[in-house]
Structure 1
Amino acid sequence: MQHFLEVAFDGSYRGPCTKTVRSTMKQMYLTYREDLRKVMSKINHVALTADMWSNSRRQSFICVTAHIMTNTYENIPVLIGFRRFKGRHTGESIRNYIDYELKRSGIESHRIISITTDGASNFESAMGTFQFGYHFKCASHNLNLVVSKGVCLWKRPNPNTFPFTNDENFNDNDVQFDSEEEISDTYSDSEEEQDDVSNDQVTPSTSPSENSSSTTIISEDEFSSDEELDDEECDTGDIEGGVLDEKVFHILLNNLQVLQKTRKLIAFIRNHQVTRDYVNQRKPGQVPYGNIILDMKIRWNSTQIMLERFLNHRNVIQAIVASPDRFKNSLTKKCQTKLKKLSFTHDEWDLLQIISSVLGPFHLATEMLSGQTYPTLSTAYYTIKGLQTFLWKEDDELELARDIKRSLQAQFKYYFNVNRSIEQKQLTLAAAFLDPTMYKEMSENDIIDAKKIIMKLMREKANIVSMSMPVQQSKTTTNQTSKEGAKEKFAKLCGISTTTTSSTYDRRLSLNEELCHYVQAIADAKQFNTFWIENDFKLPNLANIVRQICAIPATSISSETAFSLSGYLCRKQRTSLGSKSIRHSMILKYRPWLDKLIQHMDPKNN
């Protein structure tokens, strides 16, 4: 770049030196932190996400994001902390660091609704005190674990962790809603700390060593080589007990063997110029996802993408392995023999097709949960119910597909029933009820249970003043169209039907009347934020609950996205970047979100 500037400007241009750039970035970073503190101190309800990541140099980073729902009912994610994490990754260290970032950002603990993380044991320990509100397990991490273990994408199945019983009925409604147990908040406070305190100072390592959290990043086309931990390595939960179904166990073993064979063939084709050119020149027209790729353990959905592209290239791949001697001028005899051994039988192609079709709904579910500006907690309800329908439905599928689904059922029960807290199940139900686009998909029993939860919350919060931002009746845009399109496609894949539900109004309503009016008013509602902008004044108690519950992210995708960007910053061409420069760069990258939040809070813009 320096040489280009010298040539382009005839040697007259001199760029800023490294010291100047660092100084400017630091000043911009400090300005960001000052603005962040001013804004966050005025907000009543905040939901958090947190995650950890290791780059290719094995340096660990931790990220914390805050999520706020404005009075125009738009979710805004704000990065409040991103820094190198030194020392042991204990629960106490993580808890102390998050507490440190919250205090320097002006976020008081009683304002925090929840925190969403993966299921690593260190995060479990860190959130065990409810200091940061309710602990939500990331739905996308759990989906990835269900698929990885249920299909055996990467590891040989363990007979002790793959039980299958005759109980085919999945029941997610084992929570008692009539009990006196209330959804209450527990919080604590501590002192403000300085900006440049190192992690070792902030997080004393006094508790026993715990497993580190991991990071997975959603990406279709960018498959980097960052040496991150995968979900299975950080996951500490296993299904115990049960009766092993030998038939399904051997099917899972076969799944792994065929997938390993697929990866070997793809790697061979990609690593040899002659086979790579042959595929590129003869690939079928209008291939939806481009060239063949290899999947990665740390990339959600990458196996489904790999299989879909591999199957799209079936004819050309069969031609390669059937006649490897066509490459005799470019490949050695040994390579030709190896290629011949990687040929696939008809049954193996059928198995890959079945695995790809089974993974399809999980892929789309993850995409639906990956939004940052629309409510994802209500979407989580829909995707969980949709996948339940998909896995348990009886149709004319091949017996092999049914057996693979049985394996997925066992993992699904664990990660979305046993492994989720009562509070997470209850608030997910409430979020779906309060989202007009999802209410119409709820069962009658779920609606009854959701009403009980919401009535309890409304009574507790009836006297709490809602977030101090004026209602903005105009200047509203939304990206919900793509969400709705994905929802319809997801319903079709899972084989579930969609439904619809009339309205009129005037005067201040009681809590019960608000609920009744809401149910009547959502008949024609097509978008979440449009409906609530129009009904905010009519349903003040419900609106207050909406701004709290629907701000909760179902996934830690905001932290994952930050790590994806930081991974690009830390690529081998820029390995000289220090941890402070990475922190400043990441914080400033998210400056537009903070500016958007400031704009929402400025009375001049309303």
Structure 2
Amino acid sequence: MIYFLDYIPPHRNQVSNNLKRLYDFYLTALKEQLQDIDYIGLTFDFWTSRRSVSFLCITGHWFDDKWGYFSKVIHFSSFHERHAGFNISRSVKEKLESLGIYHKVVAITCDGGENLVSACSQLDGSIKRIWCCTHRLHLVVINSLGFWNTENKIDNNPNNCLTTEITTTTTSSSNVISNNQQELMDTSLSDENETGIINNFNTNERSEAESATIVNDESSDDEQNLDLIDDNWSGNIDTNVPTTNEVELIMDLLKKCRVIATLSKKSSIVSNFIRTNQLLFKLNRTLNKDCKSRWNSTFILLDALIDLKPVMMKLFNEKRTLNLRRVQLDKLTMIELNNEDWDFLSSLHSVLKPFYWGTVMMSGKNYPSIGLAYHAVHKIKHFCTNGNSSNNHIKELKKLLLTKLYTYFFDDIEQFQYFQRHAFFDPAAK
């Protein structure tokens, strides 16, 4: 192709030199821009990839002399030292001093990881550490509702429609399911190499593009797993939340939902059925598995299932016409959502919706969010204290969330006072 186009690619040394030149150019421009500001707030992000490579990212937030708001990454690098607070604070101080802004920093926002909290405390005493409100809200939801509980409580009530015998594909819950159930799940997900198994469409007539899409869907999952990160958002999760009735129902429901999401990717028969009926019902949603590090990924999974309910109902009703293997048919039967499941899913979704929009509001990039976050937390508190619903599940879910809302927000007096003070002067909150 190179010869056909008569194109000579640049030498690697040329590319390397150009990258260094561009880096120096933009670093100089950034330093000149930061010289003109009086105060700056920072956001710290610290994480480790699944390849065990750690990264430190510092984002600066400031106003110029015309009250224009800027939010820009001012430093991004790998971190090769021990993740101790002293090492992080020393590295941060060096970077900020090299940019000439260490004395201009007034506040730092970071998650609640002990190493980052320690790092902030070892910087200049005038620099205040402020909550990452989205991280706090993440912990409120995860640690009140037991999204990632590893406890397996056997259900002795034969009439309970939310069975606890469903297996899950997540690593976090692999230790709560039996070996037989795990084997069933492992052997029932993929049907790519099976013979004599067809769906309503002739698999031999499937277009090459469609086949490639299925293969890419499955391989992309593996690629994405390699890029998953490990940060304090997943490290502070309580996997032993007390199993009240509602928490048990959530655990059982999420096991089903997660296996459905996996099956929709791993089985071409199920995937084709869902895709075809999405077109029939004019629905454009994708079922993706949730992850520990972002609670709203679970909400998005539940939201997608609610939108795709007609497709899911049709899948469960017509599963015996899909010519699935026996083990796959058993799998679909195990994860089938009945009326009680759908009702509880709807209740859980309605309770979590204000938390989702609060998370979206707090995650703003192009505007200061502390004032909006303060009022969002109070709105959520008001929502949780409102017990007018006749649905007992909703009442109990709100109680669980309200308890953790106090734990992570209102009971931390010093941080909450910082929160109030900064929100008072935020015009966006007026």
Whether these two folds match at TM > 0.5 is: yes
| Counterparts of 1:104 and 1:293, CA distance in 2 | 42
Supply the AA of the counterpart residue of 1:281: T
- Quote the residue 1:425 is aligned against: 416
Using the alignment, how far apart are the partners of 2:277 and 2:152 within structure 1? 41
The match for 1:123 is: 116
CA displacement at 1:45 relative to structure 2: 0.4
Matching residue's letter, 2:269 = V
Partner residue, 2:228: 227
Distance 1:327 1:307, change over 3 A: same
Deviation at 1:286, TM superposition (A): 4.7
Q: What SS does the aligned partner of 2:389 have? A: coil
Amino acid at match of 1:229: D
| Alpha-carbon spacing, 1:266–1:158, altered in 2? closer, same or farther (3 Å) | closer
Cα distance in structure 1, aligned partners of 2:353 and 2:293? 18
SS, match of residue 89 in structure 1: coil
Deviations 1:56-95 (A, max 9, x none): 4221111112111123333212222111101210000110
Query: Which runs of 5 or more structure 2 residues have no equivalent in the other structure?
Result: 154-222
2: CA distance between counterparts of 1:346 and 1:231? 37
What letter matches 1:89 in structure 2? H
More helix by share: 2
Match of 1:66 among 52, 60, 65: 60
* Alpha-carbon distance in 2 for matches of 1:38, 1:337: 65
Residue of structure 1 aligned with 2:335, choices 342, 348, 351: 342
Q: Is contact 1:81–1:101 with CA below 8 Å preserved after alignment?
A: yes
Q: CA deviation at 1:380?
A: 1.0
- Between the aligned partners of 2:263 and 2:239, the Cα distance in structure 1 is 35
Q: Tell me how far 1:377 sits from its aligned partner.
A: 1.0
Partner-residue secondary structure (3-state), 1:295: coil
State the shift of 1:15 in Å: 2.2
Q: CA offsets per residue over residues 112-144 of structure 1, 9 Å max, x none?
A: 110011100101111123527100121111111
Kept after mapping to 1: 8 A contact 2:41/2:60: yes
Among 307, 311, 329, the alignment partner of 2:306 is 311
Alignment of 1:542-553 (within 5 A): none
* Runs of 4+ with >6 A deviation: 236-239
* Cα pair 2:370 2:426 within 8 Å, conserved: no
Specify whether residues 340 and 311 from structure 1 end up closer, same or farther in structure 2 by C-alpha distance, changes over 3 A only.
Answer: same
Measure, in 2, the Cα distance between the counterparts of 1:367 and 1:74. 23
SS at match of 1:299: coil
In structure 2, the residue matched to 1:467 is none
CA distance in 2: counterparts of 1:130 and 1:95, whole angstroms: 6
Structure 1: stretches of 5+ with no match in the other structure: 160-222, 440-606
SS in 2 for 1:98: helix
Q: CA deviation at 1:276?
A: 1.0
Q: CA deviation at 1:233?
A: 4.0
Q: Which residue of 1 aligns with 2:325?
A: 332
1:72 is matched by which residue type in structure 2? K
Identity %: 25
| 1:561 corresponds to | none
CA deviation string 1:364-421 (max 9, x = no partner): 11111122221211111111111111111121241111111111111111111234x6
* TM superposition shift of 1:319: 2.4
- Provide the rounded CA distance (Å) in 1 between the counterparts of 2:271 and 2:47: 33
Matched, 1:401 2:394: yes
Cα 1:31–1:397 change in 2 (3 A) is farther
Query: How many Å apart are 1:430 and its aligned residue?
Result: 3.4
The question of whether the paired residues in 1 share the 8 Å contact of 2:138 and 2:294 is answered with: no
Q: CA deviation at 1:299?
A: 3.4
**1:104 aligned to which of 98, 104, 109:** 98
TM-score (norm 2): 0.77
Flag the 1:41–1:70 CA change in 2: closer, same or farther, 3 A: closer
Aligned positions, number: 358
2:24 to 10, 26, 30: 30
Matched, 1:153 2:154: no
In structure 2, the residue matched to 1:546 is none
- Indicate the residue corresponding to 1:379 in structure 2: 372
User: How far apart, in 2, do the equivalents of 1:85 and 1:436 lie?
Assistant: 37
**Partner secondary structure for residue 36 of structure 1:** helix
Quick check: 248-257 or 20-29, which moved more?
248-257
Pairing 1:358–2:358 present: no
Find the counterpart in structure 1 of residue 77 from structure 2: 83
Shift of the 116–405 alpha-carbon distance from structure 1 to 2, 3 Å rule, reads: same
Change over 3 Å in CA distance of 1:143–1:158 after alignment to 2: farther
Distance 1:259 1:310 in 2: 11
Q: Distance in 1 between matches of 2:233 and 2:356?
A: 18
Show CA shifts across 1:130-159 (max 9, x none). 527100121111111111112211124799
- The C-alpha deviation readout for 1:476-507, integer Å capped at 9, x for no partner, is xxxxxxxxxxxxxxxxxxxxxxxxxxxxxxxx
Shift of 1:41: 3.0
CA RMSD of aligned residues (A): 2.6
Shift of 1:427: 3.9
Residues 232 and 63 (structure 1), Cα distance of their counterparts in 2 relative to 1, 3 Å cut: closer
Instruction: Tell me if structure 2 keeps the 8 A contact 1:157–1:249.
Output: no
Mapped partners of 2:237, 2:268: distance in 1: 42
